Amino acid sequence: MSEKLQRINLNRIPNHIAIIMDGNGRWAKKKGMQRVFGHRNALTAVRESVAAASEIGSKFITLYAFSTENWNRPKLEVDALMSLLITSLKKEIPDFHKNDIKVNSIGAVDQLPKKAQKVLNEVIEETSNNSKITLTFALSYGSREEIVNAIKNISKKVVNNEIDIKKIDEKIINSHLYTFNLPDVDLMIRTSGEQRISNFLLWQMAYAELYFTETLWPDFRKEHLFDAIIDYQNRERRFGKTSEQIDTNV
């Protein structure tokens, strides 16, 4: 057991960890390589992060894999990312089963290439009975778009008298989001030193703790995730209450 892992209180683990995997391009550039090289070398960071989250008992980990804005990147890079998604998902199936990982996705996945959609759906179906940790890939995902779509769908149901407008609350909105089957985010990690959330899980991160690290994503390992957990556990999560109320459980 690592020294950092020993410092973690296993009774105060974030249930849902979300990660903005940033820095692949800069990592590749530092090595004099194309951006795609960085994406290809990011898979180890994914494996290590999921393994670390599972090891400490987190039940959900969501990775910002491809945003709606990423479609604006050079076609060569987008095509390479889609190809990498297909090959890596296929390759990881044995490990998903071995480590009891359930794969999930959120986003406008119907915008992905047909082959990517097919492989993604197959992996989701094949791992649907796994239960130790749910690994969600945010693909063609944008939080504003998600919220707009939820509003449209709720509005249609109000017009069709399926929902009483007076009864619209947080639960109703949650049930119309991509993340309807996921809990709110407890901890959000962003790598590469950037300090913004970039249209990622805006509703779901209302009370999340935000952690930013200078580490570029391809270099991110278990110990880096443990650092984030230790920092998380040193914070006081009040959810609008006072410190005194938290101390006395009022």
**Residue spans per domain, the chain:** 3-142+186-235
Strands of the 16-20 sheet, one edge to the other: 101-106, 133-141, 60-67, 16-20, 187-190, 209-212
For the segment 4-11, the average pLDDT, to the nearest whole number, is 94
Amino acid identity, position 173: I
For residue 82, give the amino acid letter: M
Q: Would you call 227 a catalytic residue per the annotation?
A: no
Tens of pLDDT, residues 166-190: 999 999 999 999 999 999 999 999 9
Annotated binding site for Mg(2+): 22, 209
The pLDDT tens digits of the residues spanning 228-243 come to 999 999 997 665 655 5
| Res. 28: pLDDT tops 70 | yes
The closest alpha carbon to 138, from 174, 179, 175, belongs to 179
- For every residue of the chain, which 3-state class applies, written as one string? CCHHHHCCCCCCCCCEEEEECCCHHHHHHHCCCCHHHHHHCCHHHHHHHHHHHHHHCCCEEEEEEEEHHHHHCCHHHHHHHHHHHHHHHHHHHHHHHHCCEEEEEECCHHHCCHHHHHHHHHHHHHCCCCCCEEEEEEEEECHHHHHHHHHHHHHHHHHCCCCCHHHCCHHHHHCCCCCCCCCCCCEEEECCCCCCCCCCCCCCCCCCEEEECCCCHHHCCHHHHHHHHHHHHCCCCCCCCCHHHHHHCC
CA-angle at 36, arms to 33 and 42, nearest 5°: 100
pLDDT tens string 36-88: 899 999 999 999 999 999 999 999 999 999 999 999 999 999 999 999 999 99
Distance CA 71, CA 51 (A): 29
CA 43, CA 36: separation in Å to the nearest integer? 12
Which one of the listed residues 15, 41, 70, 153 is annotated catalytic?
70
pLDDT (0 to 100) of residue 85: 94
Going by C-alpha positions, the residue among 211, 239, 209, 210 that lies closest to residue 224 is: 211
pLDDT of residue 14: 98
Short-list 137, 151, 19, CA closest to 88 = 137
Asked if 216 and 192 touch (Cβ cutoff 8 Å), the reply is: yes
CATH value of 3-142+186-235 in 3.30.750.200, 3.10.400.10, 3.40.50.2000, 3.40.1180.10? 3.40.1180.10
Judge whether residue 247 has pLDDT over 90: no
pLDDT band at 2; cut points 50, 70, 90 = confident
Binding region for substrate: 23-27, 35, 39, 67-69, 71, 73, 190, 196-198
- 72-130 pLDDT, tens digit per residue, is 999 999 999 999 999 999 999 999 999 999 999 999 999 999 999 999 999 999 999 99
Residue 176's pLDDT is: 98
Residue 245 pLDDT greater than 90, yes or no: no
Spatial contact of 173 and 180, defined as CB atoms under 8 Å apart: no
Which residue ranges are tagged as binding site? 22-27, 35, 39, 67-69, 71, 73, 190, 196-198, 209
